[in-house]
Amino acid sequence: MRLARGLTQAELAARVRAEIERSTGKPSPVDAQAISRIECGEISWPRRSTREALVAVLGVESESALGLFAKRTRRESERGDTTKRRSFLALTSLAVSELGDSAPGRVGVADVMALRSRFARLVELDSYLGGADTFHLYFSELARNEQILAHSNLTSNVRRELTTILAAEQAQQSGWAAFDAGHSDLAVRFFDYGLKAAEEANSMDLVANSLLHMSYVSGTAESMRSAESACTAIGPEATGRRMALLDSRRAWSYAVGGNREQAVRALDAARHAVDSEDDAAPAWCSWVDHAELDIMTGRVWSVLGRPDAAIEPLTKALENYPDSWSRDKSLYLTWLADAHLDAGDIDRAIVAGEQALALATRAASVRPLARVREVANRCAATSSTFGVDLARRAQETRLVTASP
């Protein structure tokens, strides 16, 4: 809720202090650190004046709408533990309050299957839309899940499916959408949520996937550590598309860090892995194939400044890549443009940049346009008239998107 209102923890703390002083006539010590501890569940039942101020400032009906419960009963204790474990009060409270009291009284296996099927259909939208358009869809699914956990009667098996497996997947997808919309800090919180849920379920696949996502949004050194941790989590016996995706992401992390030798080894390992039989590949990696590895190979060599090795695989993969997947195709075209620039072929670089710019305007994602601007500026630096024009238009382009 704080994030939805565009407030930092310090700003929320200031409003809470003002509300407490207005209602009690006494100063309050609430600061940004206290808000952080409340959001993370370290303080699950703050003092009454703070609770009442939070309710007033955030405009909800009750303390429970904020996920605050006095641990007087075992069930309430479980609720508090779940909130603390997931560190998500600031996020789930918004969607839960919007959903109202719609949680069913009892939820069974069939209901979980329906929730999973619905979420799978929503995930398919990621190929066509950007994170700014999909974030609230995925986040609302996660919040609905949490609402069911808080208010519905569940068996232990159903609770496990909701609290761990499905929640981890929903958090990972929400984090990806937040990252795609340009909110990296928020994305990390979702990925951390998903990681904790996956660890509770002892699902090494989902643990690895959470770590893979973290490797994409973190800095270079942290990126490599996260990618290596993902491989460790999934174990040495993993094969097929699981390892193909893990190794390809490791290759990218190494390339960004300038480690050519390690990147090449990881790419070779990914090629070997994707050729092995993998009939039971989980959804998070089932899409990995040779075309995807061609794209990653081209991206890796482009970043490493080897256009001779980058241009062919990228060109090959993009020939049959649909324009309807505008975000991804735009991004991949920017690495092709970079490779052409490194090869001294300014004309082809500008053509790729023009295609990338046209596609970037179709997706509710900040990433393609940011990359296009980088490439366009490189084109302009060559003093090409067409390059200068591309850079100007890329800089003037604005995306009209929703925001997490």
Average pLDDT of the residues in 318-342? 95
Phi, psi of 153, deg, nearest 5: -85, 125
> How far is C-alpha 85 from the chain's CA centre?
19
Classify 384 in phi/psi space as left (phi over 0), alpha (psi -120 to 50) or beta.
Answer: beta
Q: pLDDT digits over 252-311, tens only?
A: 888 988 889 999 999 998 998 887 766 667 777 788 888 999 999 999 999 999 999 999
Instruction: Kindly give the residue spans of alpha helices, DSSP state H, lying in 42-130.
Output: 48-58, 74-86, 89-99, 109-123
Q: What distance in Å separates the CA atoms of residue 201 and residue 306, rounded to the nearest whole number? A: 42
Average pLDDT of the residues in 125-152? 83
Q: What distance in Å separates the CA atoms of residue 207 and residue 172, rounded to the nearest whole number? A: 10
Answer for the pair 106, 153: CB distance below 8 angstroms, yes or no: yes
Measured CA to CA in angstroms, residue 296 lies from 169, 290, 310 at distances of 24, 10, 9
Q: What is the pLDDT of residue 220?
A: 59
Q: What is the pLDDT of residue 65?
A: 65
pLDDT band at 75 (very low <50, low <70, confident <90, very high): very low
pLDDT band at 128 (very low <50, low <70, confident <90, very high): confident
Q: What is the pLDDT of residue 250?
A: 86
> Percent of the chain scored above 90 by pLDDT?
31
Q: pLDDT digits over 187-206, tens only?
A: 888 888 888 888 777 777 78
> Which range has the worst mean pLDDT, 42-46, 128-132, 359-363?
42-46
Mean pLDDT, rounded, of the chain: 81
> Which range has the worst mean pLDDT, 81-95, 314-328, 348-362, 377-391?
81-95
Q: pLDDT digits over 224-252, tens only?
A: 676 677 667 666 666 688 888 888 988 88
Q: pLDDT digits over 378-396, tens only?
A: 999 999 999 999 999 999 9
